[in-house]
Chains A and B, each alone.
Chain A
Amino acid sequence: MALSNAIEIRNVVKRFPGPGGASDAAVVAVDHVSLEIRDGEFFSLLGPSGCGKTTTLRMIAGFEHPTEGEILIHGRPMGLTPPYQRNTNMVFQNYALFPHMTVGRNVAFGLQMKKVSKDAIERRVQEALAMVRLPDFGPRRPNQLSGGQQQRIALARALVNRPELLLLDEPLGALDLKLRKEMQIELKNLQKEVGITFIYVTHDQEEALTMSDRIAVMHQGKVLQVGSPTGIYERPNCRFVADFIGETNFLSGVVDGQDGDVVTVLAGDGLPIIVEAEGSYARGTQVTVAVRPEKIRLLPNPLKGSQNSFPCQVDQVVYVGTDTRFLVRLPGDIALTVRAQNVISTPDPSGYYSEGGGPVHAIWPSDAGRLLTD
């Protein structure tokens, strides 16, 4: 399939009247957002509570209309088109199954409204129920289903219409952790199977990383970064993204010099940190080096070469099952978190890596850090 755009969001702003009515300052829920989402893509909107994810999704569905800018679905500007004339379907966070209808009639609803023939409705409802692996659930009532089953029926009710776009607003939010992980994989497989563009709203970074082809990270109504899961995780473009996705050490300092794509930053009271970066940075620029805790190793001896290698003191050792977390202190009182996988079954907290032990060296390569200017 050609890489056409399923959806294009052009400079969209959404303002809501403030809580005190028209006289009050407006709430800017979505602030100049532009996005292009490709056909067949699993695209996630990720961000903390209140960042405008739901509002963006509701504008695509047609429940809200942009204050400024426009939204195009397969090249057609949507304008004020009402939801029932858009070929999109939404899976609501609380599922919104009709309690007065059986599961079968819930799933059939959209097809009935589109005036599909009775035979075809029956067949497609059966197919949809089989697809979500609940083939015999047609005669049940929504209140006779578990949360996970309701979730699947909501999915079937949307997918049975073969929409151009499926919009999902935190569809797994109400499920327990184990079921959520199962459903993540199931949803991802289903999306590959039907080939429909999914726009998926979540505030769970792990969920977004697991399922998405691409992710847009939102904060305070703005899109900060759009990219693949690795792109977002490995190459965050600002402090907020680096902090929101996973765990990060931030080492602030000033640029001391640049040699090709390797920049030296003086952190704290002059600790020279080397980091690879695109672009050029003037000496004296205020910057932050972001380093993921799992990219730092603790070794008994220093290492030379294109590595950062600093003696440090272990303040705390925390065993967290899969990993052990070390809180260490670099010269100049710079705190650093280090994560090491527990490869050996019984981690020995004595010796070098025990609290107050040492000397230990914190080591990471220059391409493990990320130079941020905000």
Chain B
Amino acid sequence: MTDASTTRQNNSLLAAIRRRPGLGVLALIFPSLFWLVVFFFLPLVIVFVYSFLKRGPYGQIVWEFNLQNYARFFDPLYLRVFARSFKIAGITTAVCFLLGYPMAYWMATRPPRWRNTLLLLLMIPFWTNFLVRTYAWILILRDSGLVNNALLGLGLISEPLPLFGNDLAIVIGLVYGWFPDMVLPCYAAIERLDFSLVEAAQDLYANELRAFARVIFPLTLPGVVAGSILVFIPSLGAYVTPDLLGGARSVMIGNVIQSQFLSVRDYPFGSAFSFVLMAMMLVATLLYFRVGGRTL
């Protein structure tokens, strides 16, 4: 009896979905939609609203609409932070590509039975906590660190090299941190590449270099674009790496936002800053996709 009635209920539900296919889609996406709204969209709305409010004398929120927070962004101090962040993220992305693409190419052209092992070897270091790995770089790069001690000990240098507490250290830390994010999409693109196209290019008088420039690289560009975005975006917003490896003068956007929220307790300005950062990431991503998309 109950069986029959539930069946009938199910049937009427199915019938309803059949009458209006939109319902079925809604039923399917509801869980993820709920998740997105509660944990992603709502916080974003809160931050967005905050960015137009004012900080009270004790760090509280004063409900008074104004655009001051966005105007402050044009302070040369903050513009310099933005410029440096873009430069560091750009260099990080370029270095990741220059090191990562050849590595991805090499991995993807090994016999298939080796490839998964190589991927695993690439991933293993990243099972360690990010903070711990970044601390390890302090031990390597600082004046009395591994590199400088070794070079001093060998008598190759008389003064420690300035490897730590500057932009160089940040780039090293970021390249290390996001390297797999460049390698994996490039690897996927190269592995999918039909190498008979490369042979066709060589058959049509293209030497190795030109076959690469005219066929291999253009066809794996989507992987490069994806990898670049995956490296550039988190590098631009990084704050742990510059905090630990950069010096007092090497501040990035992420550190400004962090200090606005945690030490200065100026939530509205921190929110405005976050939004400017997000807008720039969006523009950068769209530009990149358009450039990548056109050549494809």
Which residues of A are in contact with B by a Cβ distance under 8 Å? 61, 63, 82-85, 88-90, 92, 94, 96-100, 109-110, 113-114, 157, 161
Residue of B with least CB distance to A99? B219
Stretch at the interface among B69-77, B195-203, B258-266: B195-203
In the bound complex, do residue B296 and residue A100 qualify as a contact, i.e. CB atoms below 8 Å apart? yes
Is B81 close to A, CB under 8 A? no
Residues of chain A contacted by B210 (CB below 8 angstroms): 113
Q: In the assembly, what is the distance between CA of A245 and CA of B22, in Å?
A: 60
Q: Mark B37-58, 1 if CB is under 8 A from A, else 0.
A: 0000000000000000000000
B238 within 8 A of A: no
Given A83-B199, A96-B194, A98-B197, decide whether A89 and B218 contact each other with a Cβ distance below 8 A. no
Q: Is the CB–CB distance between B203 and A113 below 8 Å?
A: no
Write out the residue numbers on chain A whose beta carbons fall within 8 Å of the beta carbon of B207.
82, 84
Interchain Cβ contacts under 8 Å between A and B, 23 examples: A63-B203, A82-B207, A84-B204, A84-B205, A84-B207, A85-B205, A88-B203, A90-B199, A92-B196, A92-B199, A92-B200, A96-B197, A96-B200, A98-B197, A98-B201, A100-B218, A100-B219, A100-B296, A109-B214, A110-B205, A113-B205, A113-B206, A113-B210
Residues of chain A with a CB closer than 8 A to B204's CB: 84, 89, 109-110, 113, 157, 161
Q: B205–A61 contact, CB under 8 A?
A: no
Determine the distance from Cα of A96 to Cα of B196 in the docked complex, in whole angstroms: 6
| Contact yes or no, A82 B202, CB < 8 A | yes
Tell whether B281 is near chain A: CB-to-CB under 8 Å. no
Q: In this assembly, does B215 line the interface, its C-beta being within 8 Å of a C-beta of chain A?
A: yes
Interchain pairs with CB closer than 8 A, number = 57
Residues of A within 8 Å of B194, CB to CB, are 94, 96
**A-chain residues with CB within 8 Å of residue B196 when the two chains form the complex:** 92, 94, 96
CA gap between A82 and B296 in the complex, in Å: 29
Contact check: which of A61, A94, A114 meets B203 at CB < 8 Å? Answer: A61
Q: Please give, as numbers and ranges, the residues of chain A lying within 8 Å of B205 by CB-CB distance.
A: 84-85, 110, 113-114, 161
In the complex, chain B residues 247-296 whose Cβ is within 8 Å of any chain A Cβ = 295-296
Chain A positions within 8 Å of B202 at CB level: 63, 82-84
Q: Which residues of B contact A88 (CB under 8 A)?
A: 203
Min CB distance, B144 to chain A, in Å? 47
- Residues of chain B lying within 8 A (CB to CB) of residue A98: 197, 200-201, 215
Provide the B200-237 mask, 1 if CB < 8 A to any CB of A, else 0.
Answer: 11111111001000110011000000000000000000
* A105 vs B219: C-alpha distance when bound (angstroms): 15
Contacts of A82 in B (CB 8 A): 202, 207
- Return the chain B residue nearest A154 by Cβ: B200
Query: What's the minimum C-beta distance from A201 to chain B, rounded to whole angstroms?
Result: 15
What is the total number of residues of chain B having a CB less than 8 Å from a CB of chain A?
19
What's the Cα separation between A63 and B198 when bound, in Å?
11
Q: Which residues of A contact B203 (CB under 8 A)?
A: 61, 63, 83-84, 88-90
Q: What residue in chain B is nearest A115 (Cβ atoms)?
A: B205
Give Cα A157 to B205, complex, Å: 12
Which residue of chain A has its CB nearest to the CB of B295?
A: A100
* Alpha-carbon gap, A172 to B248, bound state (A): 69
How many Å lie between the Cα of A34 and that of B207 in the bound state?
A: 29
Q: Whole-angstrom distance from the CB of B240 to the nearest CB of chain A?
A: 39
Q: Is the CB of A96 within 8 A of B199?
A: yes
> How far apart are the CA atoms of A99 and B207 in the complex, in Å?
19
Q: Which residues of B contact A92 (CB under 8 A)?
A: 196, 199-200
Task: Output the residue of B204, B207, B296 with the most chain A CB within 10 A.
Answer: B204
CA distance A85 to B210 in the complex (A): 13
How far apart are the CA atoms of A309 and B199 in the complex, in Å?
Answer: 58
**Chain B neighbourhood of A84, CB < 8 A:** 202-207
For A114, give the chain B residue with the smallest CB separation.
B205
The CA of A196 and the CA of B199, in the complex, are separated in Å by 22
Query: Which residues of B in the span 13-44 have a Cβ within 8 Å of any Cβ on A?
Result: none
Q: Which residue of B lies closest to A108 (CB)?
A: B204
Q: Which residues of B sit under 8 angstroms from A110, Cβ to Cβ?
A: 204-205
Q: How far is the CB of A44 from chain B (nearest CB, A)?
A: 20
A63-B199, A63-B202, A96-B197 known; 15 other A-B pairs, CB under 8 Å?
Answer: A82-B207, A83-B199, A83-B203, A84-B206, A90-B199, A90-B200, A92-B200, A96-B200, A97-B200, A100-B295, A109-B204, A109-B206, A109-B214, A110-B205, A113-B210
Closest to B194 in A: A96
Report the minimum CB–CB distance from B224 to chain A (whole Å).
14
Task: Report the separation of the CA atoms of residues A273 and B214 in the bound assembly, to the nearest whole angstrom.
Answer: 66
Given contacts A84-B207, A92-B196, whether A109 and B219 have CB atoms under 8 Å apart is no
How many angstroms from the CA of A94 to the CA of B215 in the assembled complex?
17
User: How many angstroms between the C-alpha atoms of A90 and B203 in the bound complex?
Assistant: 7
Residues of chain A with a CB closer than 8 A to B197's CB = 96, 98-99
Query: In the complex, A89→B204 CA distance in Å?
Result: 7
Give, as a whole number of angstroms, the nearest-CB distance from B112 to chain A: 12
Distance of A26 from chain B, by nearest CB (Å): 17
Residue in chain A with minimal CB distance to B210: A113
Report the Cα distance A98→B206, complex, angstroms.
13
Give A96 Cβ to nearest chain B Cβ, in Å. 4
Chain B nearest CB, measured from A316 CB (Å): 46
State in angstroms the CA–CA spacing of A100 and B296 once bound together: 6
Report chain B residues within 8 Å CB of A94. Answer: 194, 196
Question: What distance in Å separates the Cβ of B117 from its nearest Cβ neighbour in chain A?
Answer: 15
B194 CB, nearest partner CB in chain A, Å: 7
Contacts of B111-140 to chain A: CB distance below 8 A: none
Q: Considering the chains assembled together, what is the distance between the CA atoms of A366 and B204 in angstroms? A: 53
Q: Which 3 A-B pairs give the minimum distances between C-beta atoms?
A: A110-B204, A113-B205, A96-B200
CA distance A97 to B219 in the complex (A): 12
Q: Please indicate the chain B residues that have their CB under 8 angstroms from the CB of A99 in the complex.
A: 197, 219
A214 to B53, CA, bound (A): 87
Identify the closest chain B residue to A89 (Cβ). Answer: B203
Closest to A167 in B: B203
Q: CB-CB < 8 A to B201: which residues of A?
A: 98, 109
Question: CB-CB < 8 A to A83: which residues of B?
Answer: 199, 202-203
